[in-house]
Homo-oligomer: A and B are copies of this chain.
Amino acid sequence: MSDADFDILGIGNAIVDVLARSDEAFLSRHDMHKGGMALIDTDQAEAIYAAMPPGIESSGGSVANSCAVASALGAKVAFIGRVAEDTLGQAFRHDITRAGVHFPTAPSTGGLPTARCLILVTPDGQRTMNTYLGACVSLGPDDVDAALVGRAKVTYLEGYLFDPPEAQRAFHRAAEAAHAAGRQVALSLSDAFCVHRHRAAFLELIRNGVDILFANEAEITALYEVNTVEEALAKVAGDVTLAAVTLSEQGSTIVQGAERVRITPAPARVVDTTGAGDAYAAGFLAAYTRGRPLSVCGRLGSLAAAEVIGHFGARPQSDFSRMADAAEG
């Protein structure tokens, strides 16, 4: 890979998470699909917030989380995403900037407030997310600086960004700019319901503009409308150069053409799975952009995911500096 100013440029929703513990009954009472991500409007956000247990606020957003983790792992990272000029937007900017991530996107003013995701964590550690997109909907193609895209080895796109309507155009612009500069494009499918909502658009982008795909079992089978991961892996091998499919406590499988690399999961105390997939992608891309073999990419992904699973919230809470060495082992 040629020299670049950044290892990873992430493009995603800029969100502040509100995380609280709840029981399963709370999910049922509020018609939430456990483990999923639902989009909510202002009224729903107010109603759920009023009802949900006390929590903490932590910067979130899937690809933004990946950017923070990759930076903690020593990667050079930039992020494009839209917050408003408000208290949560300031917190998001502070957190990602102080995580060492270059964040050039100007805040919106006078429009919708900064996005928030109301996250219920059940006793099994599973997270159920309710996202109010707010200012994220004003991210569009003009926010993608083609020159910045060209300066990053990998541009990493968030599947959730298929929800705000203007962002799909931003994706295509980013993918074109990356390939024009000889760079690569990665995409996370983000969520099975999101894949269902935008399946055709996902497939079109994947087949024409994506080199590296991240997905979990539910997402990849939803994408190809198949019943087993094996069938999905066979299909994805023809669509992208490289795919990494996470399989919860079964670890992950990396697919490159006919090659399969199985990664066993790192031991983890499950407190809160929020951000596990984001951290896996971060570890993978941090190793990949340093030219490490696929087995090391997968192991660094697993180690990063294990740390994030061990506490409340999706951003790093401990020292990641020795993790890259551990992944070589």
Measured CA separation A123–B98 after assembly (Å): 18
Give the B-binding residues of A (Cβ under 8 A): 18, 20-21, 49-50, 52-59, 68, 86-88, 91, 94-96, 98-99, 123, 311-313, 315, 317-319
How many copies of the chain does the oligomer comprise?
A: 2
Which chain B positions have C-beta within 8 A of A315? Answer: 54, 56
Which chain B positions have C-beta within 8 A of A59? Answer: 54
Measured CA separation A59–B96 after assembly (Å): 21
Which chain B positions have C-beta within 8 A of A312? Answer: 311-313, 317
Which chain B positions have C-beta within 8 A of A20? Answer: 98
Which chain B positions have C-beta within 8 A of A313? Answer: 56, 312
A57 to chain B: closest residue by CB: B57
* B87 touching A68, Cβ below 8 Å: no
Measured CA separation A311–B56 after assembly (Å): 12
* A21 touching B317, Cβ below 8 Å: yes
* A56 touching B54, Cβ below 8 Å: no
Apart from A53-B98, A56-B58, A86-B87, list 17 A-B contacts with CB within 8 A. A21-B317, A49-B94, A50-B94, A54-B68, A54-B95, A54-B99, A54-B315, A56-B56, A56-B57, A56-B313, A56-B315, A87-B88, A123-B319, A311-B312, A312-B312, A312-B313, A312-B317
